[in-house]
């Protein structure tokens, strides 16, 4: 059984923080994918040309629609940039949280190893003393 250390509650808190940062990073990644899909849709809409042989009013409406589509493309590009920046920040925050939690886990494992080594040493010493007492009680003779 793994002995408990005083770092265990701190590690638990840091692991929860690490998991939260991982979820935030996943959400930011999803937001980037959604923004990229919206950008592709806006670009496709802007590429289509609805002008045809018709009145000047229809051409003007088509031109306004095209201008609006281009505006939507620019807006989608900005949203992709913002989402990508947020993803980068989330990735950085997760990396920091993961590093911190991993460092605490290593320190705690080193402490657990020390505790187990001390227990093993104490048990070995106790067994040696029992053996010495048994040896001395038999007058220096080995038990048969």
Quote the number of domains for the chain: 1
User: Can you give the residue range of the structural domain that contains 131?
Assistant: 8-137
* Separation between Cα atoms, residue 111 and residue 105, nearest integer Å: 10
**Is residue 89 assigned to a domain?**
yes
Inside any domain, residue 112: yes
Answer whether residue 142 is part of any domain.
no
pLDDT interval class at 143 (50, 70, 90): low
Alpha helices (runs of H) in the chain, residue ranges in sequence order = 8-47, 56-137
Tell me the per-residue pLDDT of 61-99, one tens digit each, with 9 for 90 and over. 888 888 898 999 999 999 999 999 999 999 999 999 999
Could you count the other beta carbons within 10 Å of the beta carbon of residue 6? Answer: 8
Which pTM was predicted?
Answer: 0.70
- pLDDT class of 12 with cuts at 50, 70, 90: very high
1 lies in some domain: no
Model pLDDT, residue 110 = 95
* 3 located within any domain: no
Residue 143 lies in a domain: no
Within a domain: 144? no
Cβ contacts of residue 79 below 8 Å, gap of 6+? Answer: 35, 38, 39
Q: What is the CATH number of the domain that holds 101?
A: 1.10.287
């Amino acid at each position: 059984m793994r002995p408990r250390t005083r770092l265990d509650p701190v590690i638990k808190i840091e692991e929860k923080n690490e998991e939260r940062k991982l979820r935030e990073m996943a959400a930011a990644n999803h937001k980037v994918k959604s923004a990229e899909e919206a950008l592709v849709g806006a670009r496709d809409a802007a590429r289509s040309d609805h002008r045809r042989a018709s009145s000047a009013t229809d051409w003007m409406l088509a031109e306004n629609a095209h201008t609006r589509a281009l505006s939507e493309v620019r807006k989608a590009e900005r949203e992709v940039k913002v989402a990508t920046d947020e993803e980068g920040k989330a990735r950085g925050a997760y990396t920091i949280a993961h590093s911190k939690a991993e460092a605490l886990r290593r320190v705690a494992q080193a402490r657990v190893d020390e505790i187990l080594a001390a227990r093993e040493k104490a048990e070995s010493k106790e067994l040696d003393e029992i053996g010495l007492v048994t040896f001395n009680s038999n007058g220096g003779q080995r038990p048969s």
